[in-house]
Chains A and B, each alone.
Chain A
């Protein structure tokens, strides 16, 4: 009878549990460094446009007048250049992959305007004088 050299391995695998996951019922465990998609923390962005210049596929558009940060998800190659060069560290590399779609997904993020700078300066001046005025009396 012909017994192949692989019989031992096959018999052993008969009694072990399967090596595959029941995906998508059992979710996948992502690694920490997996390059999935680019995320942005909108409050920290200053619309400098460095990420737009460094992107090798030109998938990021920064619109200063309308205060929008636009990314074409299907054009992005998840290289991480934008994450490295952002001066405010507001871009992050998320772990999950972009879900497949039948059209080219374009994500638009509205960057909120920064809080007005004039207000802190005015109370600071009288606040600096008020303790001085109160100190001699106290």
Chain B
């Protein structure tokens, strides 16, 4: 048995977008055990339900995370609408779906750029983020903000997108599709990238089910798990089949995310072709009653939103369970047995969004 040392990883590290701390127990360059420790960015946002009315709380929940911001806004509104039995008009559902898929594209492009930067491939990182800027410009044109949109409210959406802008979005996405196909070839076929990603951090299908992994982490190991199949929003009327890979290592997760970007572009084309006319929201008044558990497929996996009202205009409890929260045990398991030099890549492939985990 070799000598064991403990090396701290994080909270500050060049590959991490947000702070997480791991104590790695290593034995001659191989990681034997990893103990996670979080709590650097805990803001206690869920406790603010006692002070903000349920119509104003959406602005707080949106700001839980900057990358998955729209998903949180939609999930909160879905939970409160389910608890109070409010039916949202169909045009609002379609608009929410379009914005959510745009949000998914920008989140995955951000992750691909960070992955390239993680192993030093800076020019690929710059090319990926250049495409992401076009998506952020579309979001600014339709909602008013690049990162925080403030466009979802309990009962519907606040802003409309007219037909001319939708046609423009169609054309911009067709152009982006060609550029992403080019980048896909680089990410998946380049020899130096394959050297860093293949065989690293293998998670078998049984382990993925046992540890309850979610999102692309589970889909890359062969588990067909995607909340969009439930038919929330406009997904019930769109033709859609989740992307599943069987490799189970970092290369498989990269493959799943790139194909999901291309699939999201297809979904937006379909939604724009089918969007109906109609109202944008229904009026909501009165106290919040009932309880409901809503689920949304965020870019990182499935997220749970639990809202409980108690008859006043303040909610009694609001709970957000984000996908990274559920992927941390899977991360701890995949770290066992890998090389010390592969640890940053592995931590990046679960797509850590720690500000979501700690709220």
Chain A–chain B contact at Cβ < 8 A: yes
- Which residues of A lie under 8 Å from residue B127 when comparing CB positions? 6, 9, 13
Count residues of chain A with CB under 8 A from any CB of chain B.
21
Whether A9 contacts B186 by the Cβ 8 Å rule is yes
B241 within 8 A of A: no
A96 within 8 A of B: no
A19-B130, A33-B159 in contact; A6/B144 too (CB < 8 A)?
no
Count residues of chain B with CB under 8 A from any CB of chain A.
27
Chain A facing B: main interface SS: loop
The 0/1 profile, CB within 8 Å of B marked 1, for residues 2-45 of chain A is: 10111001100100000100000000000111110000000000
Q: Which of A73-100 contact B (CB under 8 A)?
A: 77-80, 84, 93
A56 within 8 A of B: yes
Docked pose: A31 CA to B56 CA in angstroms: 26
Whether A56 contacts B185 by the Cβ 8 Å rule is no
Chain B facing A: main interface SS: helix
Docked pose: A9 CA to B158 CA in angstroms: 41
B143 within 8 A of A: yes
The 0/1 profile, CB within 8 Å of A marked 1, for residues 183-195 of chain B is: 0011001111000
Docked pose: A34 CA to B150 CA in angstroms: 12
A10-B123, A31-B140 in contact; A56/B59 too (CB < 8 A)?
yes
Closest to B189 in A: A5
Whether A5 contacts B185 by the Cβ 8 Å rule is yes
The 0/1 profile, CB within 8 Å of B marked 1, for residues 114-126 of chain A is: 0000000000000
B263 within 8 A of A: no
- Which residues of B lie under 8 Å from residue A77 when comparing CB positions? 59, 148, 150
- Which residues of B lie under 8 Å from residue A56 when comparing CB positions? 52, 56, 59-60
B239 within 8 A of A: no
B225 within 8 A of A: no
A85 to chain B minimum Cβ distance, whole angstroms, is 12
- Which residues of B lie under 8 Å from residue A4 when comparing CB positions? 186, 190, 192
Q: Which 4 A-B pairs have the closest CB atoms?
A: A56-B56, A35-B144, A33-B144, A5-B190
